[in-house]
Structure 1
């Protein structure tokens, strides 16, 4: 019989490494390298035009907006072009350029918008400490300029600013920072949800690949084992007993036709996942077919039923059928015994299966993939059941499966 092997689903490499998928990393790097020309140009135009209008109402109280003032106004937007790549440095630079602009005595206006945009970019990209320090340093510098250094800086004859106005400005910047923090938290939640959805989709894809591999293995292994045995019989008897060889070829044709039909059913489910299968999934009601196929391979199978049978859910019925099929396939492949016993025991909420052979093991690979027992364990585990395969005294082998089940209906 086959040695137990464990199939694992490792998942994508990025999940094992604990990081985001490579595509997302590539998108993040591409976004960081992108220069935000359109938004920065709009900010620059708004700052220049808005400050020009604001300067008209501040004539005589602030310095006139000359070439140096316009250059200082454009320093901030120029720095914003780099906010995707270096958000922390940009928020510090815009805070410094805005401080220099105000220290030069130029008019108040939308110059603060540059610092707001830089703050949002820094906080949302995770550079929170740089943003808080930059805004806090700007407000502290503004207090020093407006209350202590105003007499030494342009414009001449300037007076100290109102504390109430400065406190209002500080509250406004705190609101900006708080809003940026909220936006950052929402973006993190969205990114986390996306990562979880991507991981879940990858897990579902991996599980589906395992299910398809298990189904194809169970479909093909049994039929090909029968074909292999009958082909050997046909070759051995081709000259001495042509009629028996003809019978073997007939069995090969029937087994291959059935295998092709079941493979088509599996592949049809892949092409149209939402469509109902054209033929019902196999279940224990087709046990007579397994017995006939095993008989064609030279194996005499005895089936006994214990308890009162009832209709099984499709998933449990299919799993039970495949477990018996794989166990009989293993007997054909790996056992010298030409007899096998199948026991099906019905109990309330449980279904027990037992498949025994008398051995001895032949030690032949017989073309097996080595995944039969692992596939049976996966089917049982998917239903919350258990399965064990143990050697018997005298060289035989026994497979025991215990599956939980809720009857769909009672006869």
Structure 2
């Protein structure tokens, strides 16, 4: 409304006969032209092109009809300005130049050769200024919008990264929890069931079962304390040695639980990268625990470990006894194992039939590079 008032005020107020300012009332044609310019200014936000057409049309009409007052030309400049604030420079010039060119030609014709030199100066400079100021506003608004979009995008990216990290931490914690206590709890369950069965007939078996449960429970407490310490630590704990000595201890542990393990190890495992050794150790633990759980009273596991030039191959098989062992769905242990092996670029193959067969291939060269 201020712009409309300015256009009307600068049209009504003009120089008088004594070089003072006086009020001039426009005729019906002038009122009609000013009304058209006012409608154009009202449409400046919704339709800048219509605003330009009506305001520059009012400016052109004032020149052709020889209407007094600067307000008509100010209206045309406002139209140019709002087009420049709404469009890129190329499009704004493409719209404003032809329109203001008509005003320029009208000024030239109307001057009749008396003030031809002044017409291009007035029209061209004022139009260029309107375009320039409009483009400054256009670029500033688009810069603000662009910066805000970048801030919003960075915020969304940060939130997505944070959610991903939380999900990865939860997955890692779930894996570690299963690796630390999963097989020992399974041993506790199996030994407790065996102790209950032999409670009346074989006290010695019961006693050995209770001793195994006691040892497994102590190990669980120690492992959980270590897991919590690692999760709270600022720096990751150093990798443990899961080489040949550690594997032999693991096999002896399961043999003490009553599992018959026939093992064959080809190659020197002492040079295996820590990540590969750790994953192989967890794979053996998972496979031997499943053999103990599902193999029945005379559980047997066949183990073959082969270290090649660029990969470690692991194969564990055991007969499946009972309906429980024939389940086709992977448990949490196998799911976590597949994820660990996949992270190292290896592969896992599980075969279920009369025997349960777990085959794993772990590339050693790739792990050695990333250690």
Query: Relative to structure 1, is the Cα distance of residues 101 and 134 closer, same or farther in structure 2, using a 3 angstrom cutoff?
Result: farther
Higher share in helix: 2
Matches for 1:78-157 after TM superposition, within 5 Å: 97-105=1-9, 143-144=56-57, 148=61
Instruction: Please say if 1:178 is aligned against 2:139.
Output: yes
Q: For 1:290, which of 239, 250, 274 is the aligned residue? A: 250
Per-residue CA deviation, residues 190-217 of structure 1 (Å, 9 max, x unaligned), is 3223222322221222122122112212
* Residue in structure 2 matched with residue 376 of structure 1 by the alignment: 337
User: Secondary structure, in 3 states, of the residue corresponding to 1:243?
Assistant: helix
1:352 aligns with 2:313: yes
CA distance in 2, matches of 1:131, 1:187: 25
Tell me what 2:130 maps to: 169
Task: Work out the CA distance in 2 between the residues paired with 1:244 and 1:157.
Answer: 113
1:223 counterpart residue number: 184
Instruction: Tell whether the 8 Å contact from 1:150 to 1:158 is kept in structure 2 after alignment.
Output: no
Distance in 1 separating the partners of 2:357 and 2:173: 26
Alpha carbons 2:183, 2:286 under 8 Å: kept: yes
Unaligned runs of 5+ in 1: 1-96, 108-129
> What TM-score results when the alignment is normalised by the length of structure 2?
0.66
Computed over aligned residues only, the root mean square deviation of the Cα atoms, in angstroms, reads 3.5
Equivalenced residue count is: 286
The yes-or-no answer on 1:266 pairing with 2:227 is yes
Residue matched to 1:405: 364
Instruction: Give yes or no for the alignment of 1:316 onto 2:276.
Output: yes
User: Which protein has greater RCO, CA pairs closer than 8 Å, 6+ apart?
Assistant: 1
Alpha carbons of 1:287 and 1:166: their partners in 2 closer, same or farther (altered >3 Å)? same
Matched-pair contact (CA < 8 Å) for 1:229–1:297: no
CA distance in 1, matches of 2:70, 2:3: 20
Task: Could you tell me which runs of 5 or more consecutive residues in structure 2 were left unpaired when the two chains were aligned.
Answer: 12-42, 75-121
The verdict on how the C-alpha distance between 1:259 and 1:100 changes in structure 2, with shifts beyond 3 A counting, is same
Q: Which structure is larger by alpha-carbon Rg, 1 or 2? A: 2
Q: Secondary structure at the match of 2:271?
A: coil
Matched, 1:202 2:202: no
Partner of 1:396: 355
State the distance in 2 between where 1:316 and 1:238 align.
42
C-alpha displacement at 1:287, in angstroms?
1.4
1: CA distance, partners of 2:70 / 2:133: 28
* TM-score for both structures, normalised by structure 1: 0.60
Query: Per the alignment, do residues 168 and 263 of structure 1 end up closer, same or farther by CA in structure 2, a change over 3 Å counting?
Result: same
- Seen in structure 2, the aligned counterparts of structure 1 residues 146 and 386 have a Cα distance that, compared at 3 Å, is same
